[in-house]
Amino acid sequence: MMDFSLRRVLAVFIKEFQQMLRERLTFGMAVGVPVLQLVLFGYAINTDPKGLPTAVVAADSGPLSRSIVAALQNTGYFRVTHQGQSQARAEALIETGQVQFMVVIPSDFSRRVVRGEKPALLVSADATDPSASGNAIAALDAVAAQALRHDLRGPLRPLDPGQAPYEVIVHRRYNPEGLSRYNIVPGLIGTILTMTMVMLTSLAMTRERERGTMENLLATPVRPSEVMLGKILPYVLVGYIQLGVIVGAAWLLFDVPMVGSLTLLMAMIGVFILANLGVGFTFSTLARNQLQAMQMTFFFFLPSILLSGFMFPFRGMPRWAQGLGELLPLTHFLRIVRGIMLKGSQATQLWSELWPMLAFLAVAGLVALKRYRKTLD
Q: Is 207 among the domain residues?
A: yes
C-alpha torsion angle, residues 156, 110, 136, 333 (rounded to 10):
-170
Q: Is 242 among the domain residues?
A: yes
Assess whether 86 and 200 both reside in one domain: no
Q: Is 332 among the domain residues?
A: yes
What average pLDDT does this structure show over 257-283? Answer: 90
pLDDT for position 228: 72
pTM: 0.83
Whether residue 152 is predicted with pLDDT greater than 60 in this model: the reply is no
What average pLDDT does this structure show over 107-127? Answer: 85
Assess whether 290 and 160 both reside in one domain: no
pLDDT for position 36: 74
For residue range 210-262, list pLDDT tens digits in order: 776 666 666 667 676 777 777 778 888 888 988 888 888 888 888 888 888 99
Assess whether 113 and 211 both reside in one domain: no
For residue range 33-42, list pLDDT tens digits in order: 777 777 777 7
Whether residue 356 is predicted with pLDDT greater than 90 in this model: the reply is yes
Question: What per-residue string of b and e applies to 179-196 under the rule 16 or more CB within 10 Å gives b?
Answer: eeebbbbbbbbbbebbbb
Do 47 and 313 form a contact (C-beta atoms < 8 A)?
yes
What average pLDDT does this structure show over 268-277? Answer: 91
Assess whether 314 and 234 both reside in one domain: yes
Assess whether 211 and 159 both reside in one domain: no
* Lateral strand order in the sheet of 52-58: 78-84, 52-58, 101-105, 120-126, 167-173
Whether residue 284 is predicted with pLDDT greater than 70 in this model: the reply is yes
Q: Is 276 among the domain residues?
A: yes
Assess whether 323 and 221 both reside in one domain: yes
Assess whether 300 and 279 both reside in one domain: yes
pLDDT for position 211: 72
pLDDT for position 296: 85
End of a domain among 129, 147, 173?
173
For residue range 3-40, list pLDDT tens digits in order: 777 887 788 878 777 777 777 666 666 777 777 777 77
What average pLDDT does this structure show over 88-98? Answer: 89
Do 369 and 224 form a contact (C-beta atoms < 8 A)?
yes
pLDDT for position 162: 57
Assess whether 217 and 333 both reside in one domain: yes
pLDDT for position 329: 94
Q: Is 78 among the domain residues?
A: yes
Q: Mean pLDDT over all residues of the chain?
A: 83
* Domain membership of residue 233 as a residue range: 181-376
Q: Confidence class of residue 326 from pLDDT cuts 50, 70 and 90?
A: very high
Q: Is 9 among the domain residues?
A: no
End of a domain among 157, 173, 189?
173
Assess whether 213 and 353 both reside in one domain: yes
The number of domains in the chain is 2
| Among 64-68, 82-86, 158-162, 190-194, the least confident range | 158-162
SS3 171: strand
Assess whether 341 and 297 both reside in one domain: yes
CA distance 144 to 75: 12
Do 181 and 256 form a contact (C-beta atoms < 8 A)?
yes
Q: Is 28 among the domain residues?
A: no
Q: Is 12 among the domain residues?
A: no
Q: CATH no. for residue 116?
A: 3.40.1710.10
Assess whether 186 and 117 both reside in one domain: no
End of a domain among 130, 157, 173?
173
Assess whether 132 and 274 both reside in one domain: no
